[in-house]
Amino acid sequence: MKHTFIGAVVAGAIASLSTAVYAEVEVQWWHAMGGANGERVNKIAEDFNATQSEYKIVPVYKGNYTETMTAAIAAFRAHEQPTIVQVFEVGTATMMAAKGAIYPVEQLMKDTGEPFDKSGFLPAVISYYQTPEGELLSMPFNSSTPVLWYNKDALDKAGASVPTTWDEMKSASEKLVASGMKCGFSFGWQSWVMIENYSAWHNLPIGTKENGFAGFDTELVFNNDAVENRLQAVADWSKDNLFVYGGRRGDSLPMFTNGECGMWMNSSAYYGSIKAQAKFNFGQSMLPLDTEVADKPQNSIIGGATLWVLQGKSDDEYKGAAKFLTYLSSPEVQAWWHQETGYVPITTAAYELSKSQGFYESNPGTDTAIKQLSLNTPTPNSRGLRFGSFVQIRDIINEEMEALWAGDKNAKEAMDSAVQRGNVLLRKFERSVK
C-alpha cells in the first residue's frame, strides 16, 4: 500500500510537471471587431492556434474602437493589460506618447528573432504607423479608405452615370430623387470622409507640422475656403434631399442598403455588409473630385486599425505574439481577410495573390481602395494625420457638422469653431507629453 501510494504521488507529480512544461502560453488579443468581422477574427486566431501547440491566441471583443482603446489604457494602469490591442488610426499619436507602455512591433520582431521584412507592406499603409526615423510601431491589420458606393440599378433607372466629380454628384442626386429615391447620397464617419480624406484627396493640409507628423506643436487648419464651400454646398443640397445625414460612424448604412439613398460614401470595409444586405446590383468607385479645388486627385488616406503590443508581459508571451503577427500578415491570411471584408490587403503579396485568384475579375471594383491609396506618392498633406486627442477632436467635429446639417450654423461658423475647440485639446495634449 505504501509503495502504491508513493508511486501514485510520483506519477502525479510527473504528470503535473509535464502539463506545466507543455502548457500553451496564452496571448490575449483585445479587439473592436463585432458581428461578422468578430467571427472572422476568431477564425484567424483559431487557425493560428491549430498550426502549433506552444501558443494560444485568445481574442477578446472589448466594444467599438474608442471603448477598446479606453479599456486597454485602464487595464495598463491596473497592470492587467493584454499583450496585443487593436487601436484605430486616430489613436496613433496617443499610443506613441504613452512612453513605457508600448513595445514597438519592429523591435519586438528583432528581439524575438522573428523574420520580418517591412518592405512588403503597402507604402500608404505602413507610413502612417512609422516614426520619423522609419521604425514600425504597430502591425497593420485592418486598413481601409472611403470610397463611393453606388446603387447601380437605381442609377440606371434614373438615367445617371457614376459620378467622378462633385458637380456630377449633384446632377446624379437630382436624377435619383426625381426618379423616386428618398435621397441622392449620404455618408458616414463624416470627419474622416468629408474633412480628412477630402483634404488629402485635394492635397490640402488638415493641420500644420505635416498634419502632426513633424511635431506635437501642430494646429488644425481645415477651416479653409475649399472645405467650407464644399460642406456648405452639401448642406444646401439637403433642402431638396440630394443629401440626407444619417448619423455618425456607419449609422447611415441601412439608408443605402434598403434603397433609400442611391449613393453612399464610407469605408471600403463595408463590402461584406453591403454584399450581405443589398438586394440590388451595387458597385464602388473613387471619391468625387472637387474641380474648383484641384485638377486631379492626390491620394486618399487610410482608416481602420493596427495591432499594438503592450509592455509588461513575459518573454514567452512576446514570442507567441511575434509568431502570430507573422501569421496574421502572411499573404494567405491577408488575402482572405481582404476578400471577406473589403479592408485593403496590407502587403503587395496579398494583393498579388488576390489578383491571381481572380478576385478582382469576379468582383469588379473591389480594388478601388487600393488604387485610391496608391494613386500618387503621398505628400505631407496626404500621408495621413497624427494629432493627439484626435478621438475627442473628432467628436467636436461631429458636433459642429451636425449643427451645420441642422441649419444652426453655416459651414464657416462650424469649421471655425471646430478648429478653435480642437486646438485647445492639441495644446493640452502637447503639455501632457512634455
Q: How many helices (H) and strands (E) does the chain have?
A: 21, 9
- d(C-alpha 396, C-alpha 418), whole Å: 6
Cα separations (Å) of 304 from 32, 249, 369?
10, 12, 13
CATH 3.40.190.10 domain locations along the chain: 2-143+303-361, 146-300+389-433
The phi and psi torsions of 130 (rounded to 5 degrees) equal -110, 155
Provide the residue-wise pLDDT of the chain in tens; the chain has 434 residues.
445 544 544 455 544 444 445 589 999 999 999 999 999 999 999 999 999 999 999 999 999 999 999 999 999 999 999 999 999 998 998 898 887 899 999 999 999 999 999 999 988 888 889 888 889 999 999 999 999 999 999 999 999 999 999 999 999 999 999 999 999 999 999 999 999 999 999 999 999 999 999 999 999 999 999 999 999 999 999 999 999 999 999 999 999 999 999 999 999 999 999 999 999 999 999 999 999 999 999 999 999 999 999 999 999 999 999 999 999 999 999 999 999 999 999 999 999 999 999 999 999 999 999 999 989 988 999 989 999 999 999 999 999 999 999 999 999 999 999 999 999 999 999 999 87
Which pLDDT belongs to residue 138? 96
- Per-residue pLDDT, 126: 87
Residue-wise burial string across 350-367, b where 16 or more C-beta atoms lie within 10 A, e elsewhere: bbebbeeeebbeebebbb
Q: Does domain 146-300+389-433 have CATH number 1.20.1050.10?
A: no
Residues in the chain: 434
Question: Where do the H-state alpha helices sit in 23-165?
Answer: 35-51, 65-77, 92-97, 105-112, 123-126, 152-158
Task: Determine the Cα–Cα distance for residues 67 and 73; give it in Å rounded to an integer.
Answer: 10
What's the confidence (pLDDT) of residue 124?
83
Residue 340 corresponds to which amino acid?
A: E
Model pLDDT, residue 70: 92
Q: How many CA atoms lie within 13 A of 192 on its CB side?
A: 22
| Side-chain-facing half-sphere of 265: CA atoms under 13 Å | 27
Residue the block writes with cell 509588461: 312
Q: How far apart are CA 173 and CA 239, in angstroms?
A: 12
Q: Angle at the Cα of 192 (from 191 to 197), degrees rounded to 5?
A: 115
Question: Structure pTM?
Answer: 0.89
Which fold is adopted by the domain 2-143+303-361?
D-Maltodextrin-Binding Protein; domain 2 (3.40.190)
How far apart are the C-alpha atoms of 230 and 288, rounded to whole Å? 12
Query: Cβ–Cβ contacts within 10 Å for residue 371, how many?
Result: 14
User: What pLDDT score does 12 carry?
Assistant: 53
The predicted pLDDT at position 123 comes to 84
